Chain A
Amino acid sequence: MAESPMLPKMVGQRVKRREDPRLIQGQGTYVDDLKIVGMEHVAFARSDIAHGRIKSVDTSVAEAMDGVTAVFTGAQIAEFVKPVPIITPFPSPDHRAVVVDTVRYVGEPVAVVVATNRYIAKDAADAITVDYEMLPAVVDTEKAMTGQPAQLHKDFENNLSVALLPSGTGVSPDGQTVDDTALDQAFADAEVVVSQRMVNHRLAPSAMEPRGTVAHYEPGHNKMTIWSSNQAPHLLRGAIASMFGMGEDQVRAIAPEVGGGFGAKVQAYAEDYVVAGLSKKLGIALKWTEDRSEAFLATTHGRGIIGYIDIAATNTGKVLGMKLRLIADIGAYNTLFTAAIPTFTTLMANATYDIPAIRTTITEVFTNKTPTDAYRGAGRPEATYFVERGLDMLARKLAMDPAEVRRRNFIQPNQFPYTTQMGAVYDSGDYAAALDLALQNAGWDKLKAERDQAQAEGRLVGIGLSMYVEVCGLGPSAVLPTGGWEHSQVTIERDGRINATTGASPHGQGNETTFGQMLADQFGVPLDHITIHHGDTAIAKQGIGTFGSRSQAVGGAALHLAGGKVRKKMAKFAAALLEAHEDDLVFENGRISVKGAPDSGKSFEEVAAYAYVPVPLPEGLEPGLSEEAFFEPSNNTYPFGCHIALIEIDRDTGEPTLRRLIAVDDAGNLINPLIVEGQIHGGLAQGVGQAMIEEVQYGDDGQPLTSTFMDYAIPRAADLPRFELDNTVTPTPVNPLGAKGVGEAGTLGSTPCVVSAAVDALSQFGVTHIDMMLRPEKLWQIINGGQS
Chain B
Amino acid sequence: MIPSNFDYQRAQSVDDALTKLAASGGTGKVIAGGHSLVPMMKLRLHEPTTLIDIARIGELSGIREQDGLIEIGANTVHHDVATSSLLRNNCPIIAETAGMIGDPQVRNRGTLGGSLAHADPAADYPAALLALDAQIQLQGPSGTREVAATDFFQGLFTVDLADNEIITAVRFTPVQVAAYAKLYQRASRFAIVGVAAALVINQGSMLRKPTIRSSRIGLTGAASHALRLTSVEEAVAGQAATAEAMAQAAQGAGAKIDDINADLHASEAYRRAMIQVFTTRALQGALARLPA
> Do A and B form a real pair?
yes
Alpha-carbon gap, A292 to B2, bound state (A): 11
Alpha-carbon gap, A719 to B267, bound state (A): 23
Q: Is B277 within 8 A of A652, CB to CB?
A: yes
Chain A residue nearest to B266 (CB atoms) is: A777
Chain A residues near B103: list those with CB within 8 A.
Answer: 716
Q: Is B1 within 8 A of A292, CB to CB?
A: yes
- Segment of A116-124, A137-145, A393-401 engaged in the interface with chain B: A116-124
Decide yes or no whether B270 CB sits under 8 A from chain A: yes
Decide yes or no whether B264 CB sits under 8 A from chain A: yes
Whether A693 contacts B1 in the complex (CB less than 8 A), given A716-B103, A780-B273, comes out as no
Chain A residues near B273: list those with CB within 8 A.
Answer: 780
Decide yes or no whether A584 CB sits under 8 A from chain B: no
Q: Is B187 within 8 A of A713, CB to CB?
A: yes
Q: Is B187 within 8 A of A712, CB to CB?
A: yes
B contacts with A: majority SS: loop
Q: Can you list 26 A-B contacts with CB-CB less than 8 angstroms, sorted by A residue number? A: A118-B2, A119-B5, A122-B1, A123-B2, A123-B4, A291-B1, A293-B1, A294-B1, A652-B277, A653-B183, A655-B183, A693-B186, A693-B187, A697-B264, A706-B187, A706-B264, A710-B187, A711-B187, A712-B187, A713-B187, A716-B103, A719-B186, A775-B265, A776-B186, A777-B267, A780-B273
Decide yes or no whether A61 CB sits under 8 A from chain B: no
Chain B residues near A292: list those with CB within 8 A.
Answer: 1
Q: Which of B264, B265, B266, B267 has the most CB of A within 10 A?
A: B264
Chain B residue nearest to A716 (CB atoms) is: B103
Among B1, B264, B270, point to the contact of A780 (Cβ < 8 A). B270
Q: Is B2 within 8 A of A119, CB to CB?
A: yes
Q: How far is the CB of A569 from chain B (nearest CB, A)?
A: 53
Q: B residues 86-101 with Cβ under 8 Å of A?
A: none
Chain B residue nearest to A652 (CB atoms) is: B277
Size band of the B side of the interface?
10 to 19
Q: B residues 1-54 with Cβ under 8 Å of A?
A: 1-2, 4-5
Chain B residues near A282: list those with CB within 8 A.
Answer: none
Q: Which of B186, B266, B274 has the most CB of A within 10 A?
A: B186
Chain B residues near A697: list those with CB within 8 A.
Answer: 264
Chain B residues near A293: list those with CB within 8 A.
Answer: 1
Decide yes or no whether A765 CB sits under 8 A from chain B: no
Alpha-carbon gap, A683 to B132, bound state (A): 45
Q: Which of B2, B190, B267 has the most CB of A within 10 A?
A: B2
Alpha-carbon gap, A292 to B188, bound state (A): 15
Chain A residue nearest to B281 (CB atoms) is: A652
Alpha-carbon gap, A469 to B196, bound state (A): 49
B235-271 interface mask toward A, CB cutoff 8 Å, 1 = contact, 0 = none? 0000000000000000000000000000011110010
Known: A123-B4, A693-B186, A776-B183. 14 other contacts (CB 8 A): A118-B2, A123-B2, A291-B1, A294-B1, A653-B277, A710-B190, A711-B187, A711-B264, A711-B265, A713-B186, A775-B265, A777-B265, A777-B270, A780-B273
Chain A residue nearest to B278 (CB atoms) is: A653
Q: Is A711 within 8 A of B188, CB to CB?
A: yes
Chain A residue nearest to B2 (CB atoms) is: A122
Chain A residue nearest to B190 (CB atoms) is: A710
Alpha-carbon gap, A780 to B267, bound state (A): 12
A691-713 interface mask toward B, CB cutoff 8 Å, 1 = contact, 0 = none? 00100010000000110011111
Q: Is B264 within 8 A of A709, CB to CB?
A: no
A746-785 interface mask toward B, CB cutoff 8 Å, 1 = contact, 0 = none? 0000000000000000000000000000011100100000
Chain A residues near B187: list those with CB within 8 A.
Answer: 693, 706, 709-713
Alpha-carbon gap, A118 to B5, bound state (A): 12
Q: A residues 706-730 with Cβ under 8 Å of B?
A: 706, 709-713, 716, 719
Interface residues of A (CB under 8 A from B): 118-119, 122-123, 291-294, 652-653, 655, 693, 697, 705-706, 709-713, 716, 719, 775-777, 780
Alpha-carbon gap, A775 to B267, bound state (A): 12
Q: B residues 120-172 with Cβ under 8 Å of A?
A: none
Q: How far is the CB of A48 from chain B (nearest CB, A)?
A: 13
Alpha-carbon gap, A652 to B267, bound state (A): 16
The 3 closest A-B pairs by CB, nearest first: A713-B187, A291-B1, A710-B188
Q: How far is the CB of A748 from chain B (nearest CB, A)?
A: 23
Q: How far is the CB of A458 from chain B (nearest CB, A)?
A: 15
Alpha-carbon gap, A719 to B186, bound state (A): 9
Q: Is A705 within 8 A of B264, CB to CB?
A: yes
B166-209 interface mask toward A, CB cutoff 8 Å, 1 = contact, 0 = none? 00000000000000000100111010000000000000000000
Chain A residue nearest to B264 (CB atoms) is: A705
Chain B residues near A780: list those with CB within 8 A.
Answer: 270, 273
Chain B residues near A719: list those with CB within 8 A.
Answer: 186
Alpha-carbon gap, A304 to B277, bound state (A): 35
Chain A residue nearest to B270 (CB atoms) is: A777
Q: How far is the CB of B60 from chain A (nearest CB, A)?
A: 27
Alpha-carbon gap, A653 to B190, bound state (A): 16
Q: Which of B1, B183, B274, B277 has the most CB of A within 10 A?
A: B1
Chain B residue nearest to A118 (CB atoms) is: B2
Alpha-carbon gap, A255 to B243, bound state (A): 60
Alpha-carbon gap, A108 to B11, bound state (A): 43
Chain B residue nearest to A695 (CB atoms) is: B264
Chain A residues near B264: list those with CB within 8 A.
Answer: 697, 705-706, 711
Q: How far is the CB of B137 from chain A (nearest CB, A)?
A: 30
Q: How far is the CB of A209 from chain B (nearest CB, A)?
A: 15
Alpha-carbon gap, A455 to B151, bound state (A): 46
Chain A residue nearest to B184 (CB atoms) is: A655
Q: How far is the CB of A712 from chain B (nearest CB, A)?
A: 6
Chain A residues near B190: list those with CB within 8 A.
Answer: 710
Chain B residue nearest to A777 (CB atoms) is: B270
Q: How far is the CB of B158 from chain A (nearest CB, A)?
A: 20
Chain B residues near A775: list those with CB within 8 A.
Answer: 265
Chain B residue nearest to A655 (CB atoms) is: B183
Q: How far is the CB of B179 from chain A (nearest CB, A)?
A: 16
Q: How far is the CB of B231 from chain A (nearest CB, A)?
A: 20
Chain B residues near A776: list those with CB within 8 A.
Answer: 183, 186, 270
Alpha-carbon gap, A565 to B57, bound state (A): 67
Chain A residues near B186: list those with CB within 8 A.
Answer: 693, 713, 719, 776
Q: Is B2 within 8 A of A291, CB to CB?
A: yes
Alpha-carbon gap, A777 to B273, bound state (A): 10
Q: How far is the CB of B39 from chain A (nearest CB, A)?
A: 8
Alpha-carbon gap, A123 to B188, bound state (A): 28
Alpha-carbon gap, A777 to B265, bound state (A): 8
Alpha-carbon gap, A122 to B183, bound state (A): 37
Chain B residues near A693: list those with CB within 8 A.
Answer: 186-187
Q: How far is the CB of B150 from chain A (nearest CB, A)?
A: 28
Chain B residues near A709: list those with CB within 8 A.
Answer: 187-188
Chain B residue nearest to A715 (CB atoms) is: B186
Q: Is A653 within 8 A of B5, CB to CB?
A: no
Alpha-carbon gap, A719 to B4, bound state (A): 36
Q: Which of A122, A653, A719 has the most CB of B within 10 A?
A: A653
Alpha-carbon gap, A719 to B188, bound state (A): 13
Q: How far is the CB of A68 from chain B (nearest CB, A)?
A: 15
Alpha-carbon gap, A719 to B277, bound state (A): 22
Chain A residue nearest to B103 (CB atoms) is: A716
Alpha-carbon gap, A691 to B277, bound state (A): 25
Q: How far is the CB of A6 from chain B (nearest CB, A)?
A: 44
Chain B residue nearest to A291 (CB atoms) is: B1
Alpha-carbon gap, A293 to B42, bound state (A): 10
Q: How far is the CB of A165 from chain B (nearest CB, A)?
A: 34
Q: How far is the CB of B187 from chain A (nearest CB, A)?
A: 4
Q: How far is the CB of B9 from chain A (nearest CB, A)?
A: 20
Alpha-carbon gap, A712 to B265, bound state (A): 10
